[in-house]
C-alpha cells in the first residue's frame, strides 16, 4: 500500500535575499535547468509554467513548448487529480504543500502511467508577503515505491504461498478424505439408487396390485347381483355397485348425494341404523335386515352384512357391505307366521268345536235313541197302515223292500225279490207306463205316483197297487236314493169300478128315456110349426135345449165310466178342424146366444182324429168360456198351425182362475171352490184332457183372476 502525506510548509522570509555575486537570471535558469531535481516555477492561479527544467519536463513527458501554458493546458491528464487545486491554494493562500510517495498519473508518449513522487509546491513571496511564484519540485520515486511494493508483494506472495501450501496440504488431506467419503458416498448412492429402484419397482408393483385388486373388486362388484356398497371410516358411503343402482333406479352419485338410508322403510330404518352404528363404534362385523324402496315403488327385503376394513397400517377404513334380496324368504316366513297364527286359531276353534262336538255327541246319543224310538214307531205305523216300503238304486236298479211289501206282493221266495221280478208281475198294459214313470222320476229327480195292476206272486190274482216315491239326494248331494211306499188299493179300485159301473149303468138307463123324450119333443115341434102356436113353439124350444144339455151331461158321465173301465175307443177319420170349430160355435150359439163369439181361422186345417170326441172338447171349452164369464162379453176362438200341429185357442173375458187351482184344473171332479154357485161336475176338462192326450196332443190353460182365461189344445196335423 502506498502511503501519501502532504505537509503544509510556511514560507521562509530569508529565502529571497539577494547577493551581488550572484549569477544572472539566464545563468541561473541554465544551472537550474541542469539540476537533477525536477523543478518548475508557476505563476498565477492557473499555475502558468514560468519555467521547467529538463528533469521536470522528463517527468511530465513534455518538451519546452509547455512553457507559458497553464498547468491544466500543459498537462490535461492532471484534470481530476488534486494537483491543479493544490497549486491554486498555494498561490492564493501562500502555502507550501508537500508530499511523499504521492502518485500522479501522467501521459507519457501518449500512454497514461502512474508515477510516485516526493514533491513540494512552495509559494515564493515578495517582501510584502505577496506570492510571486510557486516553486515546484519533484523527485520521481516510482522505482523505489515499485521496488518496495514488489518486495511487499513477494513477501505477501511467499506468505500466501506458504499459506497456500499449508492449505494445499490440508486440502490434499481433506481431498483424500473427501475422495474416501466420495467413494463411500458413491457406494451408498449406488446402493441407494438400487434401493430406490427396488422401492420404485415395489411401489409400482404395489400400485399395480392395488389397481388390479380395485379393478377386480369393481368387476366383481359390478358383475354380481349381490348389492355391494363401500363406506369409509366416517361412516359415509363411497361406492354402490350396479345392482344397487338397478334395484333403486338411482345412479351411484345420486345414492351418495341423496342419502341411500332415506330409501329404507320407515319401520326398519332406526333398528338397522343402530345395528350399523354400534358395529361401527366397535369396528366389528355387522349384519341386519331392512326393507328398501325399489324403483318399482315396492319394498324389497335385504339382508346386509359386512366385515370392517383395515388399512395395511392397521387403521380402520370403514366397511364393505354386501346385501342379498330375501323378499321371497321373508314372504315365506310371513306366510308361515300367518299360517302358524291361523293354525293356532284353528286349533283354538277345534278345541272349542271339539267341546261342542262332545256335547253334540251326547245330544246325538239322545237324538239317536229318540230316532230309534221314532223309527220303531214309524215301522209299526207303516205295518199298521199296511204300507210296503221300497228303495231302488237309480243306477243299478237294485231293489230293497220291507216285509210288508213282500207280503203285499205275495212274494214268498227265499232269495230277495229283484226289480225285474217285481216288474214282471205288472199287467202288460201298465208295465211300459210304470217303467216310464220310474225313469222319468230318476232322470228328473222328481216325484213318482202310479196306480197299476199286477199279478200276486202267490196266487196270480190281480191286485191294484198305488206306488208313491221320490228321488232324493244323499249326504253328498248326489241323487242316489229313489224310495217310496206302495199300498194295496185293490179294494178302493173295486169300489171305484163298482161306482163307474153304476154311473155307466145309470147314464145308459137315463139315456133311453131321454132319447125317447127328445123324439117326442121333435115331433111336437114339427106339429107346433103347423099350428103356429108361439107358446108351444117356445116351450118346446126350451125343452129341446134342456134335453140337449142333459144328454151332454149324461154323455159326459158315460164317457167317464167308459174311460175308467178302459172302454173308450177312438174312431179316427180325417176332417177339417176349422169346419168343426165353425159348427161347434153355431151349435153353441143355438143353445146360448148370451155371448159374442168370434172365430179366427185363416186356412183350412185338416187333422186325423175322432171327430165327435174333438167336437166334445171344443164344445166343452166354449161352454166353460160362456159359463165362467159375464153375459155379452166377447169370446174368441182361433185355429192356427204352429210347430206342425193344429193349435186351438179359446179366450174369454171372464173371472179367470187363481194360480193355486191351475194345476188341478184337469183333474177328475175338480171344481174351483168359489164357483159352486155355477152348476157343473168337474168332469169336462178331465175328459177333454184325456181325449187330447189319447190323440197325442197337449192341453193347457193360461189365466189370472179377473183377467179372463185362455185354454189351448194342440193336435198333430193329418
Ligand atoms: P165344470 O163342470 O165344473 O165346469 P170343468 O172340468 O169343465 O167342470 O171345469 C173345472 C173347473 O174349472 C170349473 O169348476 C171352473 O171352476 C174352472 N173353469 C173351467 N173353465 C173355466 C173358464 N173358462 N173360466 C174360469 N174357470 C173355468
**Ligand 1: centre distance to CA 656 (Å):** 10
**Ligand 1: centre distance to CA 652 (Å):** 12
CB 91 within 8 A of CB 78: no
CA 695, CA 716: separation in Å to the nearest integer?
8
Please give the full DSSP string across 623-669, using - where no structure is assigned. Answer: HHHHHTS-TT-EEEEEEEEETTEEEEEEE--S----HHHHTTTTSTT
Look up cell 224310538; give the residue.
373
Look up cell 541542469; give the residue.
34
Nearest alpha carbon to residue 391 among 298, 333, 327, 471: 471
CA 520, CA 541: separation in Å to the nearest integer?
12
Nearest alpha carbon to residue 656 among 596, 701, 688: 701
**In sequence order, what are the beta bridge partners of 49?**
42
CA 58, CA 55: separation in Å to the nearest integer?
5
The 3-state DSSP composition of the chain as helix, strand, coil percent (nearest 5) reads 50, 25, 25
Q: Number of helices (H) and strands (E) in the chain: give both, helices first.
A: 18, 24
Q: Give φ, ψ of 325 to 5 degrees.
A: -80, 120
- The CA-based dihedral angle spanning residues 375, 378, 382, 383, taken in that order and rounded to the nearest 10 degrees: 70
Ligand 1, atom 14, lies closest to the CA of 671
For residue 407, what are the CA distances in angstroms to 392, 402, 423, 460, 467? 18, 9, 16, 14, 15
CA 245, CA 292: separation in Å to the nearest integer?
12
CB 280 within 8 A of CB 261: no
Q: Which atom of ligand 1 is nearest to the CA of 650?
A: 23
For residue 216, what are the CA distances in angstroms to 156, 210, 365? 79, 9, 80
CA 92, CA 44: separation in Å to the nearest integer?
8
CA 352, CA 345: separation in Å to the nearest integer?
10
CB atoms within 10 A of CB 601: 17
Kindly give the residue spans of alpha helices, DSSP state H, lying in 532-598.
534-564, 577-591
Strands 596-601 and 634-642: parallel
Look up cell 208281475; give the residue.
425
Q: Note every long-range contact of 250-256, with CB atoms under 8 Å and residues 24 or more positions apart, other chains counting.
A: 250/295
Q: Give φ, ψ of 49 to 5 degrees.
A: -75, 115
Nearest alpha carbon to residue 125 among 45, 46, 49, 11: 11
CA-angle at 393, arms to 390 and 397, nearest 5°? 95
The 3-state DSSP class for residue 302 equals strand
CB 290 within 8 A of CB 302: yes
Look up cell 211300459; give the residue.
432
CA 197, CA 193: separation in Å to the nearest integer?
6
**Ligand 1: centre distance to CA 550 (Å):** 18
**Ligand 1: centre distance to CA 634 (Å):** 18
Q: Give φ, ψ of 430 to 5 degrees.
A: -95, -20
pLDDT at position 664 is 93
Ligand 1, atom 19, lies closest to the CA of 624
CA 487, CA 405: separation in Å to the nearest integer?
8
Q: Which atom of ligand 1 is nearest to the CA of 655?
A: 25
**Ligand 1: centre distance to CA 557 (Å):** 16
**In sequence order, what are the beta bridge partners of 96?**
9, 122
**Ligand 1: centre distance to CA 604 (Å):** 29
Length of the chain: 718
The sign of the CA dihedral 417, 423, 424, 426 is positive
pTM to 2 decimals?
Answer: 0.46
pLDDT at position 427 is 95
For residue 102, what are the CA distances in angstroms to 105, 120, 322? 10, 11, 101
> Rounded to the nearest 10 degrees, what angle do helices 534-564 and 684-694 cross at?
60
Give CA 483 to chain center in angstroms: 59
Q: Name 506's Cβ contacts closer than 8 Å, sequence gap at least 6.
A: 557
pLDDT at position 8 is 38
Mean pLDDT by 10 residues, the chain (718 residues): 36 46 72 80 91 88 90 90 90 89 86 87 89 90 79 76 76 77 78 82 78 72 80 87 90 84 90 88 90 92 89 86 88 85 84 82 85 82 81 91 92 92 94 92 90 94 93 83 91 87 87 92 91 89 90 88 81 96 94 93 95 95 95 96 95 95 92 85 93 95 96 95
The sign of the CA dihedral 425, 426, 432, 436 is negative
CB 457 within 8 A of CB 434: no
Q: Locate 669 and state its grid cell.
A: 171332479
Q: Which of 556, 563, 624 to mutate to test the pocket of ligand 1 (most atoms within 8 A of CB)?
A: 624
Q: Name 49's Cβ contacts closer than 8 Å, sequence gap at least 6.
A: 40, 41, 42, 66, 67, 68, 69, 70, 71, 74
**In sequence order, what are the beta bridge partners of 471?**
482
The 3-state DSSP class for residue 568 equals coil
Strands 447-455 and 399-401: unpaired
The 3-state DSSP class for residue 283 equals coil
Q: Locate 514 and state its grid cell.
A: 131321454
CA 702, CA 712: separation in Å to the nearest integer?
8
**Ligand 1: centre distance to CA 495 (Å):** 27
Q: Name 54's Cβ contacts closer than 8 Å, sequence gap at least 6.
A: 33, 34
The 3-state DSSP class for residue 122 equals strand
Q: Which of 555, 650, 678, 680 to mutate to test the pocket of ligand 1 (most atoms within 8 A of CB)?
A: 680
**Ligand 1: centre distance to CA 657 (Å):** 9
Ligand 1, atom 18, lies closest to the CA of 624
**Ligand 1: centre distance to CA 544 (Å):** 24
Ligand 1, atom 8, lies closest to the CA of 682
End-to-end CA distance of the chain: 180
For residue 284, what are the CA distances in angstroms to 268, 281, 288, 305? 21, 8, 13, 11
Reported as type and span, the H/E element at residue 157 is helix 142-223
Q: Name 296's Cβ contacts closer than 8 Å, sequence gap at least 6.
A: none
Q: Which residues line ligand 1 (CB under 6 A)?
A: 624-625, 628, 652, 654-655, 657, 665, 670-672, 675, 680-686, 709
Ligand 1, atom 24, lies closest to the CA of 628
Q: Which atom of ligand 1 is nearest to the CA of 625?
A: 23
**Ligand 1: centre distance to CA 567 (Å):** 25
pLDDT at position 20 is 52
Amino acid at each position: 500500500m502506498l502511503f501519501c502525506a502532504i505537509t503544509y510548509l510556511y514560507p521562509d522570509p530569508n529565502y529571497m535575499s539577494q547577493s551581488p555575486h550572484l549569477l544572472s537570471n539566464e545563468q541561473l535558469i541554465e544551472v537550474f535547468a541542469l539540476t537533477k531535481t525536477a523543478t518548475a516555477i508557476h505563476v498565477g492561479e492557473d499555475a502558468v509554467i514560468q519555467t521547467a527544467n529538463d528533469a521536470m519536463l522528463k517527468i511530465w513527458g513534455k518538451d519546452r513548448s509547455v512553457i507559458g501554458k497553464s498547468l491544466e493546458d500543459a498537462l490535461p491528464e492532471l484534470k481530476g487529480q488534486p494537483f491543479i487545486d493544490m497549486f491554486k491554494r498555494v498561490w492564493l493562500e501562500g502555502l507550501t504543500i508537500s508530499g511523499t510517495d504521492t502518485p500522479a498519473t501522467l501521459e507519457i508518449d501518449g500512454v497514461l502511467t502512474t508515477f510516485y513522487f516526493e514533491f513540494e509546491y512552495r509559494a515564493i513571496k515578495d517582501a510584502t508577503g505577496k506570492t510571486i511564484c510557486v516553486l515546484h519540485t519533484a523527485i520521481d520515486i516510482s522505482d523505489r515505491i515499485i521496488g518496495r511494493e514488489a518486495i511487499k508483494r513477494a513477501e505477501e506472495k511467499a506468505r500466501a504461498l506458504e499459506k497456500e501450501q499449508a492449505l494445499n496440504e490440508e486440502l490434499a488431506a481433506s481431498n483424500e478424505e473427501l475422495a474416501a467419503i466420495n467413494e463411500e458416498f458413491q457406494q451408498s448412492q449406488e446402493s441407494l439408487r438400487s434401493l430406490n429402484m427396488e422401492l420404485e419397482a415395489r411401489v409400482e408393483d404395489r400400485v399395480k396390485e392395488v389397481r388390479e385388486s380395485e379393478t377386480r373388486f369393481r368387476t366383481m362388484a359390478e358383475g354380481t347381483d349381490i348389492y355391494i356398497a363401500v363406506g369409509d371410516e366416517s361412516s359415509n358411503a363411497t361406492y354402490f355397485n350396479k345392482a344397487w343402482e338397478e334395484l333403486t333406479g338411482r345412479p351411484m352419485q345420486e345414492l351418495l348425494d341423496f342419502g341411500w338410508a332415506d330409501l329404507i322403510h320407515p319401520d326398519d330404518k332406526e333398528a338397522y341404523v343402530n345395528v350399523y352404528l354400534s358395529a361401527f363404534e366397535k369396528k366389528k362385523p355387522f349384519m341386519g335386515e331392512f326393507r328398501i324402496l325399489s324403483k318399482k315403488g315396492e319394498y324389497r327385503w335385504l339382508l346386509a352384512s359386512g366385515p370392517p376394513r383395515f388399512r395395511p397400517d392397521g387403521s380402520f377404513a370403514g366397511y364393505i357391505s354386501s346385501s342379498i334380496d330375501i323378499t321371497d324368504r321373508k314372504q315365506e316366513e310371513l306366510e308361515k307366521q300367518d299360517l302358524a297364527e291361523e293354525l293356532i286359531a284353528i286349533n283354538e276353534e277345534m278345541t272349542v268345536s271339539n267341546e261342542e262336538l262332545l256335547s253334540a255327541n251326547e245330544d246325538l246319543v239322545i237324538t239317536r235313541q229318540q230316532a230309534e224310538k221314532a223309527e220303531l214307531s214309524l215301522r209299526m205305523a207303516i205295518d199298521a197302515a199296511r204300507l210296503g216300503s221300497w228303495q231302488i238304486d237309480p243306477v243299478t236298479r237294485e231293489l230293497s223292500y220291507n216285509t210288508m211289501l213282500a207280503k203285499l206282493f205275495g212274494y214268498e221266495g227265499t232269495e230277495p225279490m229283484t226289480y225285474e221280478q217285481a216288474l214282471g208281475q205288472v199287467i202288460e198294459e201298465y208295465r211300459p207306463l210304470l217303467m216310464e214313470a220310474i225313469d222319468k222320476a230318476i232322470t228328473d229327480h222328481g216325484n213318482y205316483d202310479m196306480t197299476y195292476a199286477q199279478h200276486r206272486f202267490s196266487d196270480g190274482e190281480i191286485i191294484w197297487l198305488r206306488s208313491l216315491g221320490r228321488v232324493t239326494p244323499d249326504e253328498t248331494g248326489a241323487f242316489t236314493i229313489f224310495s217310496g211306499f206302495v199300498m194295496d188299493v185293490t179294494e178302493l179300485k173295486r169300489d171305484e169300478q163298482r161306482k163307474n159301473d153304476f154311473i155307466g149303468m145309470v147314464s145308459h138307463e137315463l139315456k133311453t128315456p131321454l132319447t125317447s123324450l127328445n123324439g117326442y119333443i121333435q115331433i111336437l115341434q114339427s106339429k107346433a110349426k103347423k099350428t103356429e102356436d108361439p107358446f108351444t113353439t117356445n116351450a118346446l124350444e126350451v125343452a129341446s135345449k134342456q134335453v140337449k144339455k142333459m144328454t151332454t151331461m149324461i154323455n159326459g158321465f158315460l164317457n167317464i165310466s167308459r174311460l175308467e173301465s178302459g172302454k173308450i175307443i177312438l174312431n179316427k177319420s180325417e176332417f177339417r178342424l176349422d169346419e168343426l170349430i165353425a159348427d161347434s160355435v153355431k151349435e153353441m150359439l143355438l143353445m146360448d146366444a148370451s155371448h159374442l163369439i168370434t172365430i179366427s181361422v185363416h186356412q183350412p186345417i185338416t187333422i186325423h182324429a175322432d171327430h165327435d170326441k174333438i167336437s166334445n172338447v171344443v164344445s166343452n171349452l166354449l161352454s166353460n168360456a160362456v159359463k165362467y164369464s159375464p153375459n155379452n162379453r166377447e169370446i174368441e176362438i182361433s185355429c192356427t198351425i204352429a210347430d206342425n200341429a193344429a193349435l186351438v185357442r179359446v179366450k174369454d173375458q171372464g173371472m179367470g182362475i187363481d194360480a193355486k187351482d191351475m194345476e188341478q184344473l184337469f183333474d177328475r171332479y175338480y171344481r174351483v171352490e168359489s164357483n159352486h154357485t155355477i152348476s157343473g161336475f168337474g168332469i169336462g176338462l178331465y175328459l177333454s184332457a184325456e181325449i187330447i192326450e189319447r190323440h197325442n196332443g197337449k192341453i193347457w190353460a193360461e189365466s189370472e183372476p179377473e183377467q179372463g182365461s185362455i185354454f189351448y189344445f194342440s193336435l198333430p196335423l193329418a
